[in-house]
Structure formats: structure tokens, C-alpha cells
Amino acid sequence: MRIIPAIDIINGKCVRLSKGDYTTQKTYSERPLEVAKSFEDHGIKYLHLVDLDGARSKHIVNHKMLYQIASKTNLKIDFGGGLKSDADLKIAFENGASQITGGSIAVSNPEVFENWLQLYGAKKIILGADANNRKIATHGWKETSTLDVIEFIKNYESKGIQQVICTDIAKDGMLQGPSFELYAEIVNETKVQLIASGGVSEFNDLIKLRELGCEGVILGKAIYEGKITLKELEKLC
């Protein structure tokens, strides 16, 4: 199972939110590059970089930070937040993203998202399935659709998606444990490579997610709050 720390960017700073609420913003570092380097120093190979300014603005904003991290580390970066156009995607890949994650665009403009999938291939495009009470949420989690998360994933699986990041919004940033039941359902009902996100609070959560069959796990606040150390993560890298 891949260990994928998250760096969420607002105004060039490394921050975390609770349940996607911007009013809960907590800044952990004003130097995201140094945070990324510390991950790499402990054997971590992957990074989930989220442009929260972009998610709010509905277009890519923090591409310079993406470039800085991509050019000064060897981390394989999946980048998301505000990617809404072909131009956004071009900027992301030109600035060092190994993959991009599309969530809102897959709901609001599926033709564009499906075109990205055809153009770049399933290894470059990750489906973001952010769920609020099992319903897909979009636009920085400010809007909730009527789409069931499992049906949403199955629909895109039929169109070629292989990797899915699923975040249970109710768990995100709360340090109360992941949505094991939801992730088990996704693993059992689809063949996608599931990257679990949200709620990881202790090392044992990672072991449980691996046993469930998750291909990867994204964690953020558990690292920043010292609930899981980078030294512990070395055991799984």
C-alpha cells in the first residue's frame, strides 16, 4: 500500500482544514517545500498536493508551488484543486505533476473529464470521489450532488478510470478514524485501485486500510499533529 502524505496549500502555506471548512484553517508551515523534503528524507515517494486556493477560485492557482516541490524533490506528485480546463491541466503537467485528480469537473463537466482520460490515459488521471453522507460533494465541498458515491465510481470505472481517491468529508481532518465500511464496500463492489483519504488518526488505521485492500492512503493532520511519526511511516514505505 502506498503512503501518500498530503500538503494543502493556501497563500503559499501548508495548512489543514476540518471537513473542508475554510474557517477552520490551521497553518502548519510557511515552507511547504521543506515539509515535502522531510517526507522524502523518510523514504516517502509520493505526495498529494492540493491547491485549496484553486478549489475556491475554480482554476489552478498554486502551480509555482507545484513546480518548486517537483523540481527540488523526487516525489511523485498527484495534484488537485481547481482543475477545470484543458489549460489548467496543461499547466499542472508542465509544472511537474505526475498525475492530476479531478473531482468537481467529473460531476459538472463529464465530457471534459472523459476527454482528459482519453488524452492522457488512466495512469495520469485520478478520479476524486469526495462523499458527504455517501453523496458526491463538489467545488471545495461547498456543494453536494445527488450522486451516490458507489454509482459515481462504477460509472467512471466503465469509462476507463483505474484509480480513485475517496474522501469521507465527515471524517476529514477529524482524527477519528477512516470510513472503513465505505472503503470496504468500494473494494468489494469495484475493481478500481482505491486510495483512501480522511480520518487517519493512528498507525493501526494504516494497517487496517492495507488489510481492506486499499492501494494507497492519504494522510495529513495525523502527521502534522504528531499522531503518526514519519519514522513510523518508514516501516510501510
Contact 50, 8 (CB under 8 A): yes
Picking from 15, 116, 21, the residue whose alpha carbon sits closest to that of residue 65 is 15
Point out the catalytic residue in the list 8, 51, 88, 172. 8
Indicate the residue type of 38.
S
Could you tell me the pTM of the whole model? 0.94
Name residues whose C-beta falls within 8 Å of residue 188's C-beta, 6 or more positions apart in sequence.
Answer: none
Where do the domains of the chain lie, and which CATH numbers do they carry?
A: 2-233 (3.20.20.70)
Return per-residue pLDDT of the chain as tens, 237 residues.
999 999 999 999 999 888 778 889 999 999 999 999 999 999 999 999 999 999 888 899 999 999 999 999 999 999 999 899 999 999 999 999 999 999 989 999 999 999 999 999 999 999 999 998 899 987 656 667 789 999 999 999 999 999 999 998 877 666 789 999 999 999 999 999 999 999 999 999 999 999 999 999 999 999 999 999 999 999 998
Active-site option among 51, 130, 168, 205 = 130
CB atoms within 10 A of CB 28: 17
Does 8 qualify as catalytic in the annotation? yes
User: Residue 80 in contact with residue 108, Cβ under 8 Å?
Assistant: no
Is 78 known to be catalytic? no
**d(Cα 116, Cα 124) in Å, to the nearest integer?**
9
